[in-house]
Chains A and B, each alone.
Chain A
Amino acid sequence: MMDKTRINNRQMGFMLFIMRSTIIIAFLPVLTSADALQDAWASAFIILISSLVITAAVAGLSQRFPQQTIVDYSQKLCGNWLGKLLGLIFLWLFLQMSVIEVRIYGEVITTNFMTRTPLTFVVGIIILSSAICVYQGIEILGRMADVLFIIFLLMVIIVLILPLTTFEGTNLQPVLARGWGPVIRGSLVPIALIAQVWVIGVLTPNLLKPERVVYTSLLAIGFSLFTLILIVVVVVGVLGAFEGSRAVFPLFYMIRSIEISEFLQRTELLIIFAWGMGIFISASTYLYAGAVSVARFFGLKSYSSLVWPMSISWILLTTTGFESMFEVHKFLMSEIYVPYGMTILLGPLILLWLVYGLRKIGKEKEDNK
């Protein structure tokens, strides 16, 4: 192994929690991408179940190759040529997920708070600070996750508690009146977004206890989606289903529209703060995963020399990859992102498990002989 530093399983759990939480909570595609309306909580429940299954499959694979990154073992399983191709897919995935997340955060900042600040500046600061963190090694990233997770969680809890005075349960009715169709439509995009769990495949070799990676990942993903259910319920309860689904950033809009007292209002900075830190962790993790994958792909000894050039190209792609917010929306629309995300997620997953299974059977047969 090229990188001898280790992080605690807990730290990886925190990273996964934050990564899974940021985009899916801030953008709330469960409410905005389809017509789930007041039944969005049920969609979130479906997302929870299916995400757990997918995470178990991804982490399970890594648990069987505890000392290797995903780029290594896909080459080992599928052979050089196909394995390299899979490696490229993962590289693309890490890059793209990070581009979307940072871009959305940049858009929030530039549309709501700093309308005259160039997007490049906001994006540049996030990615460059992530690059500094990644350059220092995974241990630093793990510690950052430790520190920021507590703040992140605290903010999420406050965000959930503050609106309770304006919460109206009747906004959640009628319950499941239109059948399961809208519910399932609402869950598709967020399920496809779970393609991000492939980072487990890169982080596993650096874990203290790689044999417990499935447990850690399931716990982290489970908790983050449980938070999503709570947040969907609160947003719909405060804003109403129709208002909530119209907003570009529903959670943000919800927190803007509450007023606990004349002195306690304008609490949206909590979200932006937490979200910003979350984006930092996600961007760092993707950047780390990307850099390590590139290094493994070309068989380099160390990934650190790749971090700076990569971060520059990431900034470039984040600012120029999408022309406007419409393109981000269009990309995340269910008819585009769902087939795409599902392919990029399930394709390699099924292929790798299939090959693994076949090899195992073959090996057992050989052993039996």
Chain B
Amino acid sequence: MKKKIGCLLIILFVVPLLCGCWDRKEPEELAIVVGYGIDYDPVTEEYKIIVQMVNPLRSQAAGAESASDKPAFWTVSAKDKTIFGAIANLRGKVSREIYYAHTQLELFSTTVLKEVGIIPMLDALERTGQTRPIIIIGATEDDPEELFKVPLPIETINVLGLRSHITITSREKAGTTIEKARMFLNKLTSPGIEPVAVKLSLLEEGGGEAPESEPGPGSKAPVRITGKMIFRGDKLVGDFDLRETRGCNWIIDEVTRANLDFTYPGREDTSVSVINSHNFSTFKPVMTEEGPKIDLKVKATGSIVNITGLSDIKAESELTQSLEKRMATVIQNDIERALDKAQKLKSDVFGFGNAFYRQEYQSWLEMEDDWPDIFADLPVDIEVEAVIKNTGLINRGIQSR
């Protein structure tokens, strides 16, 4: 009997433990943030935090007749002298507990990146338990709030749309790099390499409309991804345009697919388009008597997707070699443009210095302190090998008779 009572007492003691804890979070009491932006006003020295929250009711009922007439997301902002002060002010504006665990995108304005640097924001991101370093880091010259609010055609939630926009642009045309916070922080803290961020631009004026006014079928693309923002240390110093971005991606082996155009050998009016895939590039730090040098090797293969004039390519010939040479030249030009820009800005986004740190540690110790200056004049030997694999599904161009 005593044992039974004991058992009962234990069960009674255990049961209250099963029912939850101090920190339970009911989904219906949360405002789930999918993306946030940070802007800065140098005059008032105030930060502006912009958060985009999803409306779970709307996204659940998507397509159903009973879909709520409320918008699928809500963007709201608040200001204060400190970042967490702004977040605290935000709490006064939102009717639910703001929950950052599902954040996908962190968008900075170039003002904040130039004036304050990115470290204060990343510190908050790493220190608090909710956000994760899988967030994509983006930057824009426009107001992040407008970018969050501008109605995107065929997307229900802006930030999720932007995220897939970034992924597609980076994968299909090497137009940017998905720089997740993990990579960003790794580059920021490692010697001889500088971080980058996705560069987003607002194309149309008149953003900031309420999202209810769905864009019509003929509306223009509101947002464009225009390359990469490049940093030196934690401060933004400049940006790469699309071709420079592609050049940069060739160097760091991040081109999965790219679209290359060049003219047909011997016919200036005919152009050839190649989509290339299966690329491989590698660079090696070399210490020569004249100083440090980088040996860069790029190998790209592609297939012809369009020739605008008459053509007949079937067998390996001088023609195909010439085409390959032209393809290699396009790639080489991209690379040189990116190198020029980065060296002008003294920002080693390629990690050349890091390669010296990793493979030539003793020489790196001598160069470490004035690496930005050494990088600015660093000679790079570029060797591009381009291979045209096939001509698509036809091998002769269309000839009208």
Contacts and interface: CB of A to CB of B under 8 A. Distances in A.
- B and A form one assembly: yes
Interface of A: 111-118, 121, 125, 132, 166, 170-171, 173-174, 177-178, 238-243, 246, 253, 256-259, 265-266
Nearest to A268: B132
B189 A242 contact: yes
Contacts of A121: 21-22
B186 interface: yes
B23 A117 contact: yes
Interface stretch (B79-87, B226-234, B356-364): B356-364
B388 to A, nearest CB: 31
B17 to A, nearest CB: 7
A240 B133 contact: no
Contact of B22 (A116, A170, A241, A265): A116
B19 to A, nearest CB: 13
Contacts of B129: 111-113, 115
B15 to A, nearest CB: 14
5 contacts: A113-B23, A115-B23, A118-B22, A174-B359, A240-B190
Given A116-B22, A178-B361, A242-B190, 20 more contacts: A112-B129, A113-B23, A114-B22, A118-B22, A125-B17, A166-B182, A171-B186, A173-B358, A174-B357, A177-B362, A238-B182, A240-B185, A240-B189, A241-B190, A242-B186, A253-B133, A257-B180, A257-B182, A265-B132, A266-B101
A112 B133 CA distance: 14
Interface residues of B, number: 22
A258 B134 contact: yes
Contacts of A171: 186
Interface of B: 10, 17, 21-23, 101, 129, 132-134, 180-182, 185-186, 189-190, 357-359, 361-362
Contacts of A257: 132-134, 180-182
A251 to B, nearest CB: 14
A243 B189 contact: yes
A259 B182 CA distance: 11
A63 to B, nearest CB: 39
Contacts of B22: 114, 116-118, 121
Nearest 4 A-B pairs (CB), nearest first?
A173-B358, A240-B186, A177-B361, A114-B23
A240 B133 CA distance: 13
A105 B22 CA distance: 17
A114 B21 contact: yes
A273 to B, nearest CB: 16
A256 B186 contact: no
A240 B189 CA distance: 9
Contacts of A118: 22
Nearest to B355: A170
Residue in A111, A177, A241 with the greatest tally of chain B CB atoms within 10 Å: A177
A235 B233 CA distance: 24
Contacts of B190: 240-242
B283 to A, nearest CB: 12
A243 B185 contact: yes
Contacts of B133: 253, 256-257
B287 to A, nearest CB: 14
A182 B186 CA distance: 21
B53 to A, nearest CB: 19
Contacts of A170: 358
B23 A259 contact: no
Nearest to B17: A125
B167 to A, nearest CB: 9
Contacts of B186: 171, 239-240, 242-243
